[in-house]
Structure 1
Amino acid sequence: MPRDHHRPVHFTDAEFAALQGGEDPAVVNRVAHETANALLHRVREDPDPAVVERLVTYTDVHGIDAIAELWARVGAHTLPGALWRVYLVRTVIRQNPEEIAYLFERGTERIGTIDQAVAGAEQPTGPAEILTLADRILHGLYTGDFAVALDRGAAFCRLTAAGATAVADDADLTAGERASELTTRALRLSELAADLTEAAALWRRDSLD
């Protein structure tokens, strides 16, 4: 159903309660979709650089919990679900850019796919380059081809998952706990990649809501 994306989104007391952990899934779902649609369309219609920069760095100031409260409790293959996952990927990168850059590089060595080109990280990829990639992917949601930005996020996740698997294999005999941790991380990154790929396909079919 078409929405007037220029109209402010107002929340009732019940809606605020839902955002703060309330129990009405319908309200949580509706607020998530309304805020995601309103925010994305307003910014993409008039991508003021200062506004985009504040959105990209929002979690640096306010933390990831604020985004999670809005968008983390809806389906992965929805607009708010896709936005949440890209913010989550950026947060993971910023928490430990040195390790993520290493896993990403190992992944590019392990699998010979076009994902390295799709992700678009500068080579060689160190901590500074991986941080830049995180910001560029999120910038792309607001100022570029939305589906391409999701594809870049998915490619990053696949490569990093492959790197985590490679390092886990190396550590399997000497550091079993570390290997298990990396295997779990690889699985989660692979799931993120699949979700972002599906969201990109839905966006291209004008079906991501």
Structure 2
Amino acid sequence: MRVGSGSIVSSGSAFSHTGSPRPSRPGQLDAAIADNIVGGMDPQQLSEISHATAAALLDRVHHATDARVVERTLTIVDREGVDVVAELWSDAQPDTLPGTLWRLYMLRTWMRRQKESVTRLWRLGEPVATSASAIVGVDAAPTESDIARTADSILSGAFTGDFAVALTRAATFIEVVVLGLRVQARHSKASSTQVARLLHTGANLHATAKDLKQAAHLWRQGKLE
């Protein structure tokens, strides 16, 4: 699934970014930290910073009373691109807080940029997973606008509500899309290569759903850091 240049595409880690120019740094990131990252730094230092910034951002937004703080946090990728955030979080393991936040941001970007494809896949997969609509909070036959709102709702819920619940919603959403991909592959008249690509995409997305479920479990145990 692809949308134009600089699109979010499925990859080995389920979501990756291609073709984007380097953005200016997000306002939520400390200037000194961002400057150090651009110049390169020791991997251990970068790992420590990635964990610290993820925890600080989550804590700050969770305790914010200004709705504009939440809005700016949700739209970091929209306004600034992903490069600086990627340098902080994209290499973090999926069972860590920065790795989990990275996947949530990429999920939101993917859902919003590929609303048409995602909507179609949800409609194909939802009848197979009949309880998913209630868990995710989206209709069985959503519109593209519904998908965009759900993308925002999942990410905002991670920052302002129960983090584990948001991760479960995200994982369930992805699982329905995976089912949709399987249905599409099963009934597709495309070449065997194209069908294999659909199934490979589904496998990558399924792995991300498992990562998010595991992160939810770790969060409930107080072990997601």
Give the TM-score, by structure 2 length.
0.81
Indicate how the Cα distance of structure 1 residues 205 and 190 shifts in structure 2: closer, same or farther if over 3 A, else same.
same
Q: Where do 5+ consecutive residues of structure 2 fail to align?
A: 1-28
- Find the counterpart in structure 2 of residue 4 from structure 1: none
1:158 matches 2:175: yes
Shift of 1:68: 1.3
Higher helix share: 1
* Matches for 1:38-53 after TM superposition, within 5 Å: 38-53=56-71
Given candidates 12, 25, 33, the residue that maps to 2:43 is: 25
- Find the counterpart in structure 1 of residue 128 from structure 2: 110
User: Given residue 22 of structure 1, which amino acid in structure 2 is its aligned partner?
Assistant: G
Inter-partner Cα distance in structure 1 for 2:83 and 2:139? 30
Inter-partner Cα distance in structure 2 for 1:87 and 1:129? 18
Given candidates 187, 190, 199, the residue that maps to 1:183 is: 199
- Structure number with the bigger relative contact order (C-alpha 8 A, sep ≥ 6) is 2
Equivalent pair of 2:123/2:140 in contact (CA under 8 Å):
no
- Find the counterpart in structure 2 of residue 143 from structure 1: 160
- Find the counterpart in structure 1 of residue 74 from structure 2: 56
Equivalent pair of 2:126/2:140 in contact (CA under 8 Å):
no
- Find the counterpart in structure 1 of residue 94 from structure 2: 76
Instruction: Please give the per-residue CA displacement for 1:80-100, whole angstroms capped at 9, x wherever unaligned.
Output: 111000001111112210011
- Find the counterpart in structure 2 of residue 195 from structure 1: 211
Equivalent position SS for 1:109: coil
Equivalent pair of 1:119/1:156 in contact (CA under 8 Å):
yes
Shift of 1:73: 0.7
Shift of 1:145: 0.7
Equivalent pair of 2:133/2:139 in contact (CA under 8 Å):
no
Indicate how the Cα distance of structure 1 residues 21 and 161 shifts in structure 2: closer, same or farther if over 3 A, else same.
farther
- Find the counterpart in structure 2 of residue 5 from structure 1: none
Instruction: Please give the per-residue CA displacement for 1:137-173, whole angstroms capped at 9, x wherever unaligned.
Output: 00101111111001100001111011111111212x5
Inter-partner Cα distance in structure 2 for 1:35 and 1:186? 31
1:87 matches 2:105: yes
1:125 matches 2:117: no
Give the TM-score, by structure 1 length.
0.87
Query: Larger deviation: 182-191 or 149-158?
Result: 182-191
The alignment-based identity, stated in percent, is 36
Aligned pair count reads 197
Inter-partner Cα distance in structure 1 for 2:217 and 2:90? 20
Q: What RMSD, in angstroms, separates the aligned Cα atoms of the two structures?
A: 2.0
Equivalent position SS for 1:110: coil
- Find the counterpart in structure 1 of residue 13 from structure 2: none
